[in-house]
Structure formats: C-alpha cells, structure tokens
Amino acid sequence: MVAIGGGMMLPRETTPYHVEYAIQLTGKAVPRLCVLNQAVGDDPAYYLRFYDMLSNSPAEVRHLSLFPMPNQADPEDFLLSQDVIFVGGGSVANMVAVWKVHGIDQILRKAWHAGIVLAGTSAGGICWFESGTTDSFGAKLRPYYDGLGLLSGSFCPHYNSEPERRPLYRRLVADGALPGGLACEDGVAAHYVDDTLAEVAADRPDGNAYRVTPGGEGGFTETRLAVRFLGA
C-alpha cells in the first residue's frame, strides 16, 4: 500500500517518482497498472494525462471507469489481473460511494490480500484508511469516516499546502473525533507492507510526514517520521 499526501502529479519528463516507486514494488519488468479516477467522476482528461505521464514507463497502463457504466465487462477479473492499482485524487466521499454501488470496495480488498500494489494520492491515499480529513462536502474541511479500513486509523493529506489541514487534523485527533494516524505533506508517501508502516518516501528532499496521536500538550502528540528522498 502506498498512500501519497497529494501533489505528486507535477509535470516531469519521466515517470513521477511515486508511480515509479509503486511499479518497482511489483518486482516485474513489465507490470500491469490500472488507474481509477472515480474521485473526479472519471474525467477523461485525467486519464489522458496519466497515460501521457506514463508513456515512458515500463508499465502496461489501463484504466477502469464506472461512468456512465463500467468500461470492463468483468471489473473484478480485470482488477485482480493487475499488478498495481493507482487511485487519483478528488472527492473521496463520492468515490467510495460509487465503489460500493459497484462492489469495487470488496474487489480492492481481494486485490490487497492477493498482493497487488494499491497506491493513490490525496483521496487515493485517504480511502485505504478508516477515516481522514476531506473537502468532499464543501470548501470547509470536515472529517471523513467511511474509508475502506484496510489500514487502521486516519490519514491526512496536503499537510503543508492547505493551511487548515494541520490545525483541523490535530484538533480532531485531540478531541477524539478522529483516531490517531498519519499526516503526509504533498509529494510524501507512506508505504505499508500488510498493515505495518515500512517506510516514508518523498519526491522532494524536504518532504515531511508525521504520526499524530491523542494525548500530550494540547491533547495531541505529533511525531515527525524519517523520510527517504526518492531522487537521491
């Protein structure tokens, strides 16, 4: 599992570091990679952008869209044949709701147990956890409680780029409105093996991630984690 704090979709001449990272985790020379874009309603422009970004990668890139209907006759067979499933950003609440209508949530759980690399940015990072912070319901950030729960606790993306994320997440954890969890800045990813954090990796040398738990001064404790720069 690779949960990215957002902001990794910057133009680069080569494959974005975190997508390359997920590809390498498969251990395959030519892995199959599927993109899910339901967080922005299967916007075709997003898929075209992703295909363009991965044009120089070794991966065989495909996508599964659900609007207005699935583009694959058997979404389960299709997803379980992939080596990487990458989830884009947008509205995590809308995305997970659509997944549940189509049974994608259960398919992704099967994919996780089958050893398929699951990765995603922003909404695509929150969705693997129990809960997090989101602007899915409007401009004002709110807690989100309906994640897939493959990983326990909460996840907060955009910890450095959106001014309200950090104080809100701290307050929600301190108040017990959210369970403790992980907060990642843009371009920073938490890599889990099963349900254990294996490492934190960033696409920039100054990226940070934090474990935020209840207790301590102000009702929370924020611990900075070691981060490896992928470009080193």
Q: Which residues are catalytic?
A: 122, 158
Name, in order, each residue with C-beta under 8 angstroms of 61's C-beta and a sequence gap of 6 or more: 33, 34, 35, 50, 51, 54
Check: CB of residue 84 under 8 Å from CB of residue 26.
yes
Token pair 């599992």: residue: 1
- Tell me: cis bond preceding 70? Omega within 30 of 0 counts: no
Check: CB of residue 193 under 8 Å from CB of residue 41.
no
Nearest to 190, CA basis, from 180, 201, 205, 179: 201
Q: How far apart are CA 147 and CA 79, in angstroms?
A: 19
Q: How far apart are CA 3 and CA 55, in angstroms?
A: 23
Long-range contacts formed by 111-115: CB under 8 A, 24+ apart: 111/79, 111/80, 111/82, 111/85, 112/1, 112/150, 114/80
